[in-house]
Amino acid sequence: MFPQKASSDFRLFNTLTNRVEPLDLIEPGKLRMYACGPTVYSYAHIGNFRSFLTSDLIVRTAQAIGLKVNYVTNITDVGHLTDDDVADSQGEDRMARALRSKEGESFGNVWDLARHYANVLIADWDRLNLEEPTLRPRATEHIRQQILAVQSLISAGHAYETTQGVYFRVASFPDYGKLSGNRDAAELTELSRELVVDSAKEDPRDFALWKKDDKHLMQWFSPWGWGFPGWHIECSVMANEYLGEEIDLHAGGEDLIFPHHECEIAQAESLTGKQFARHWVHTRFLQVEGEKMSKSKGNFLTVQGLIESKEDGGKGVDPMALRLTLISGHYRKPYNFTMDTLRANTRHVQRLREIRDLLDNVSETEATDKTVEPLVLDDLSARMLDAMLDDLNTPEAIAAVLEGVKRVMAKRDTLGSDDVETAKDWLGHVESLLGIIGRPIAPDPADDASLAAAVETLLSERAVARASRDWARADQIRDELGAMGVEVMDTAEGVTWRRKIDS
Ligand code: AMP
Ligand code: ZN
């Protein structure tokens, strides 16, 4: 057990107030948390995962102090435009563009493409040992709720319709700008992100809630005709649906502060009249070898690409070393990812696994009381937890782990049974708080409901492809499942599957 702590001992920087503040929960003992998930038009990159890992560490730290966490993180599988500056008819949908790209050639349509990348995202999530969220809702499965929310906003005078769409009336929400500090109308027009060029708009700051477009690849019928929802409305609606009108904590990468989170607040608070989220947590961006990641520079690193790379004599990058690297910098400082750091971290996680194996073997055979000086690690568990409670101070928490590795290694030949218990407890704390050791053997996939559901969907599609003798599609689905770490077995009794065992 970790030392007893109160929820107010957990302190996090709040973008809304610009201060590090104790967690102030709506309902004692329970954390209601929402984090913006990825847009699934391509493979998630390691920067995306840096942000997802911040949320993961919040969840783990909250659980360590006994909070019950309700953690919702969405998948954006619709209508995200390529250029935030012109989120209107001139902007291009990211999904549509991805479908036309070289990578997109293998997909039959945009739905297929979104499903593929969402499946790989869930597989990457699992490979990097992130806790499964309580719920992972998809934007396309909540269109009705989004339409209803837009209707309510119109009825309450917070939104209006033009020939091109429906817009949020920023002038109707005086608090607009309270998160980002972008309050000045002229400055906002200048910033002009996500500001739609529609001459019928009342105010250039107004942002789209619904886009009318009967040519769009993903469209739904609404009271305003065929079209698709604006980007921001999905999160307000899904947070509301699954966590209630008020939530404790909302997280995402720093680029989301404005306009996305500012717009989420405007929508949600106009709908409910209550404060949407108490704490706003934002992760600074990751760069690679000192530069912004970009496909053209060749430094665009995906989780999938690294794990399947030729690194480490062809074995690929160790997922736990990647995880350790991605959490090794403080989330509120920009992080420079380098392959050198990754290699150094590979040695650290190997050491931790060595200790795990050593403890397993010692306990089975010879854990007798040979010790004079007992092994002490409790102070290090406490130090690690205190560091995480202090605005997720991961560098300090990891330093405490490395100190523990040193102490155990120094005593490896003289471990008594008490020492083994002490070391096992400590290792359990390291894993539950930081998740950098990983599972010894892959767990039963049936335990992982999201993965199992995704696999079942793909297997039924594969059955249809095989029945219609579309062997190319059937093979492609097998490859997709392979990328998700799933092995398909065609047996006399039918098709079964299992998770590939990590080497
Ligand atoms: P997106 O798929 O672009 O919506 O991004 C998913 C999440 O990753 C969001 O929370 C982004 O803010 C975050 N993100 C995107 N790029 C980076 C980066 N380079 N470093 C850290 N977080 C990022
Ligand atoms: Zn969002």
> What CATH number should be reported for the domain holding residue 240?
3.40.50.620
Q: How many domains does the chain have?
A: 3
| pLDDT over 50 at 99, yes or no | yes
The answer on 130 and 214 residing in a single domain is: yes
The answer on 255 and 107 residing in a single domain is: yes
Which own/partner pairs from 480-484 qualify as long-range (CB within 8 Å, at least 24 positions apart)? 480/116, 480/119, 480/120, 481/455, 483/120, 483/123, 483/304, 484/119, 484/120, 484/122, 484/123, 484/451, 484/454, 484/455
Which residue has better confidence, 243 or 293?
A: 243
For residue 35 and ligand 1, the question of a CB distance below 6 A is answered with no
What confidence tier does 193 reach under pLDDT thresholds 50, 70, 90?
Answer: very low
For residue 51 and ligand 1, the question of a CB distance below 6 A is answered with yes
The answer on 299 and 388 residing in a single domain is: yes
- Length of the chain, in residues: 503
Ligand closest to the CA atom of residue 73: 2
* Domain housing 248: 11-283
159-173, 198-212, 488-502: segment of lowest average pLDDT: 488-502
Percentages (nearest 5) of helix, strand, coil residues in the chain: 45, 15, 35
Span from the CA of 268 to the centroid of ligand 1 (angstroms): 22
> What CATH number should be reported for the domain holding residue 377?
1.10.730.10
Please report whether residue 82 resides in a domain.
yes
What confidence tier does 189 reach under pLDDT thresholds 50, 70, 90?
Answer: low
| Nearest protein CA to atom 15 of ligand 1, as residue | 48
Residue type for 55, please? S
Do 71 and 52 contact (CB within 8 A), yes or no? no
**Strand partners for 210:** 166, 229
Transcribe 269-317 into DSSP letters.
HHHHSS-SEEEEEEEPPEEETTB---TTTT---BHHHHHTSSTTTTT--
The answer on 429 and 455 residing in a single domain is: no
Q: Give the end of a domain, one of 379, 401, 434.
A: 434
Please report whether residue 3 resides in a domain.
no
| Nearest protein CA to atom 8 of ligand 1, as residue | 48
- pLDDT at position 343 is 95
The answer on 397 and 296 residing in a single domain is: yes
Please report whether residue 492 resides in a domain.
yes
The answer on 332 and 273 residing in a single domain is: no
The answer on 465 and 383 residing in a single domain is: no
| pLDDT over 50 at 194, yes or no | no
Do 415 and 369 contact (CB within 8 A), yes or no? no
Residue list, CB under 5 A from ion ligand 2 = 36, 235
- pLDDT at position 276 is 98
The answer on 409 and 296 residing in a single domain is: yes
Please report whether residue 5 resides in a domain.
no
Ligand closest to the CA atom of residue 294: 1
Which residue has better confidence, 8 or 444?
A: 8
| Nearest protein CA to atom 14 of ligand 1, as residue | 48
The answer on 253 and 188 residing in a single domain is: yes
Do 55 and 37 contact (CB within 8 A), yes or no? no
For residue 229 and ligand 1, the question of a CB distance below 6 A is answered with no
- pLDDT at position 485 is 78
| pLDDT over 80 at 80, yes or no | no
What confidence tier does 471 reach under pLDDT thresholds 50, 70, 90?
Answer: confident
Which residue has better confidence, 352 or 490?
A: 352
- pLDDT at position 131 is 97
Pocket test for ligand 1, best of 51, 76, 94, 138 (most atoms within 8 A of CB): 51
- CA–CA separation, 61 vs 33, rounded Å? 13
Please report whether residue 439 resides in a domain.
no
For residue 73 and ligand 1, the question of a CB distance below 6 A is answered with no
Beta strand pairing status for 68-73 and 30-35?
parallel
- pLDDT at position 6 is 95
The two tokens of residue 370 are 């040979």
Which own/partner pairs from 413-416 qualify as long-range (CB within 8 Å, at least 24 positions apart)? 414/370, 414/371, 415/362, 415/367, 415/370, 415/371, 415/375, 416/367, 416/368, 416/369, 416/370, 416/371, 416/374
Q: Give the end of a domain, one of 235, 250, 283.
A: 283
| Nearest protein CA to atom 2 of ligand 1, as residue | 38
Q: Give the end of a domain, one of 244, 268, 283.
A: 283
Stretch 238-267: mean pLDDT: 97
| pLDDT over 80 at 480, yes or no | yes
The answer on 494 and 382 residing in a single domain is: no
Please report whether residue 320 resides in a domain.
yes
Please report whether residue 147 resides in a domain.
yes
**What rounded mean pLDDT belongs to the chain?**
89
pLDDT single digits (tens) 3-23? 899 999 999 999 999 999 999
The answer on 178 and 217 residing in a single domain is: yes
The answer on 160 and 39 residing in a single domain is: yes
| Euclidean distance between the first and the last CA atom of the chain, given in angstroms as a whole number | 31
Please report whether residue 6 resides in a domain.
no
For residue 251 and ligand 1, the question of a CB distance below 6 A is answered with no
Do 228 and 11 contact (CB within 8 A), yes or no? no
For residue 285 and ligand 1, the question of a CB distance below 6 A is answered with yes
Q: Which residues contact 8 (CB under 8 A, 6 or more apart)?
A: 22, 23, 24
